Amino acid sequence: MLNHLDNYYFSKPEPEQSCLLFLRRYLLDYSSQIEEHWKYTTAFFTYKKKLFCYFSISKKTNQLYIGFVDGNRVGHKKLLDEGRKQIRVFYIDPNKDIDIKSLKEILNLAVKLY
């Protein structure tokens, strides 16, 4: 039987499923202090036990994104606020190669906050 997290990933259609599974592995491999949890009906990641980022799909554009909890303090040009006070989002097109360079830059900046 699948748990909530596995069900979240495996219920997504391709190419979103493969993209999310890759991002999951990338985040978990980035640091041993990043842990995955099921919160707010999505895959949520903590860093040093503090809320860090999560996966979501925009209701307006139907695009996949990673939401960074303290993104307002990260200061990266690829993070968009879209009217949010604290969270900033990094959009990902599952039909294209992921901008790993930008994602790594964002992660490097974000973990320094903790």
pLDDT of amino acid 58: 87
- What tokens appear for 42 in the block? 């999505």
Q: How many CB atoms lie within 10 A of CB 78?
A: 15
pLDDT of amino acid 82: 86
- 111's CB contacts (< 8 A; 6+ apart) are 31, 47
Of 45, 44, 111, 101, the closest CA to residue 78 belongs to 101
Instruction: Read off the pLDDT of residues 2-55 as tens digits, 9 standing for 90 and up.
Output: 589 999 999 999 999 999 999 999 999 999 999 999 999 999 999 999 999 999
- pTM score, whole prediction: 0.91
pLDDT of amino acid 59: 83
- 27's CB contacts (< 8 A; 6+ apart) are 34, 36, 45, 53, 107
Amino acid identity, position 81: D
Q: Are 17 and 9 in contact (CB under 8 A)?
A: yes
pLDDT of amino acid 60: 84
Q: What is the CATH number of domain 4-111?
A: 3.90.1150.200
pLDDT of amino acid 61: 85
Domain positions in the chain: 4-111
